[in-house]
Copies of this chain bind each other. A is one copy, B any other.
């Protein structure tokens, strides 16, 4: 059906001609600039010079599914690598509604006021469905987004957690090479993404709300176990007493967990991100952590272990990808999944059948 049909009830009258809002010459210039793909070396040089546009472009390459881009992205990363790793990486999680954006805005602004360069990244594999439930809307960090010493980038989307995690981790390195010394990684407090983020940061911060007792059940124990610091947000107005109670409650809960390898005892503090109160205390605690773990060398050991972990994870992911995306396997697997459900074939016999096909 022709949607422009004159018979449509939705016909629009022709308006009067508008003048161009931008000169024809500018258009050509912009198009030329946009089309011109900077080389890997140009990108590296610009990133090392602190060019945020180049940084954005490089991250776009990292996030691309185009194999050519992947090659170039790897080149850029390899060039940036010697200049990366000089930063602290802080993971920030919390269930929706806890005020993550407000907290990161206040925290980020506080850090830039100390002269730090702050990059905010996100891991949210669900964003392909929710179209960026976190950091999708940069306007939620109005102040920080305008700060020249801050860089905010929403989560890579349309991918598995493994894919998003890889891209975020490579983006961290690019940000570091670009001179950002404090990397904040935001994630939603539900599910597997915390584990992925935990394995790419030096410090893990869990944002919670007051209300005591009952919440303790809502938060997955595993997430609490990963936390180096629990921050109870919205400790303002009528909420202050509740927040203090919650602090005691969480402190007690934290004592039930086994000692951490870092030698650090996880702790609890309160803040009001909206009132910008208690933000300095949060940073003070984090600084203490870095002081301790750099002294006892846990900081470096953890990073080396994380690198090895990601090496293996990437390999394992790709081995699976290669198998499960094989067209012959896809069909055979479907059939065998049904067959094992109804006990027509044992899971092991089915697996060996599929593997035989694959390795032929």
Residues of A bordering B, CB below 8 Å: 74, 77-78, 81-82, 84-85, 166, 169-170, 173, 216-217, 221, 256, 258, 304, 307-311, 314-316, 318-320, 322-323, 336-337, 340-352, 354-355, 359
In this complex, what residue of B is CB-closest to A80? B346
Question: A336 to chain B: which residues have CB within 8 Å?
Answer: 311
List the number of copies, as a whole number.
Answer: 2
Give the CA-CA distance A188 to B336 in the complex, in Å: 33
Known: A345-B81, A348-B314. Contact between A340 and B169, CB under 8 A? no
Evaluate contact between B351 and A307: CB separation under 8 angstroms: no
Q: Which of B74, B82, B319, B354 contacts A323 (CB 8 A)?
A: B319
Give the CA-CA distance A345 to B343 in the complex, in Å: 47
Q: Which of B84, B217, B307 contacts A341 (CB 8 A)?
A: B307
Evaluate contact between A217 and B343: CB separation under 8 angstroms: no
Q: Which of B85, B311, B316 contacts A337 (CB 8 A)?
A: B311
Evaluate contact between B310 and A320: CB separation under 8 angstroms: no
Question: A308 to chain B: which residues have CB within 8 Å?
Answer: 337, 340-341, 347
Evaluate contact between A310 and B347: CB separation under 8 angstroms: yes
**Taking the nearest CB of chain B, how far is it from the CB of A321, in angstroms?**
10
Closest 10 A/B residue pairs (Cβ): A314-B351, A310-B347, A304-B341, A307-B340, A311-B347, A319-B319, A315-B351, A307-B347, A311-B340, A318-B355
14 A-B pairs whose Cβ atoms sit less than 8 Å apart in the complex: A77-B348, A78-B349, A81-B345, A173-B346, A304-B340, A304-B341, A308-B341, A311-B350, A314-B348, A314-B351, A314-B352, A318-B351, A318-B352, A322-B359
